[in-house]
Amino acid sequence: MTRYPDIPKPIRSGMVVVDPDTGTPQRIIVLQFNPDTLERSVSPQSAGDSGDAGGGGTGSGDRNEALRLKGPAQETWKFTAEIDATDQLEVAAPEGIHPQLATLEMLVQPTTAQLRESMRLSKQGAIEISPIEMPLTLFTWGSKRVMPVRLTELSVNESAFDVRLNPIRASLSIGMRILTVSDLPAGHRGADLYMAHLAQKERLAGAARVGGGLGSLGLSGTLGGTGRG
């Protein structure tokens, strides 16, 4: 049998549910297949955005705010993941892919214990019940993209079933929003992980090759003007 020892084993993308206090992984979700495409959107948090108190960018606000940022950019990710029990027949699947689907759905669901505790406090007449806090979820796409996220969309299309009507094949549309230091309290483990993610992005940007000087853009000299005709 011919072997190719030099071919690296592909890294899988996935999610890690982490205890924010101890940093201990509570659950690891490895995507069966890496998505073929990723849709990413990065929106800067400009101080001069319309609707902001500064009113910059419309010609009627404080011009000093035009180049200022209020915080980290808001970044969202969207992709389609596939789960197929027939592609791994060596793994027993008496319940089809129910367990895999349930694991993903529990990323956006409180547990029964949390709901019972909330109902107990309500019956005791608690004036204010704090919203249920979910575990910290990290999305990993290789070693250079590990970031805290909140799922904003989970759409499941089940397309095949076994004789007991257990789903055995499904396509999932997953949307996520990266959590930044603007979303998390100071000292939160997720905030530290975001800072590490941003530092990695800065390092990669610093490693980019410069594609020529001003001459390649048809410019020369220094970029400065008096603003006078």
Q: How far apart are the first and last CA of the chain?
A: 76
Instruction: Give, for all 229 residues of the chain, the pLDDT tens digit.
Output: 455 666 778 899 999 999 888 889 999 999 999 999 999 999 998 887 655 444 444 555 567 888 888 899 999 999 999 999 988 666 677 899 999 999 999 999 988 998 898 888 888 876 566 777 888 999 999 999 999 999 999 999 999 999 999 999 999 999 999 999 999 998 899 999 999 999 999 999 998 877 777 878 888 777 776 555 4
- Check: CB of residue 49 under 8 Å from CB of residue 26: no
CA distance 114 to 100: 22
* pLDDT recorded at residue 10: 84
Strand, helix or coil for residue 48: coil
**Residue from 75, 99, 90 nearest 27 by CA:** 99
* pLDDT recorded at residue 223: 77
* pLDDT recorded at residue 147: 96
* pLDDT recorded at residue 23: 86
* pLDDT recorded at residue 209: 78
Amino acid at the residue 43: S
* pLDDT recorded at residue 56: 45
User: What predicted TM-score, i.e. pTM, was given to this entire model?
Assistant: 0.81
DSSP 8-state symbol, 211: -
* pLDDT recorded at residue 159: 94
- Check: CB of residue 48 under 8 Å from CB of residue 66: yes
**Residue from 33, 28, 36, 63 nearest 48 by CA:** 63
Here the tokens at position 33 are 């297949």
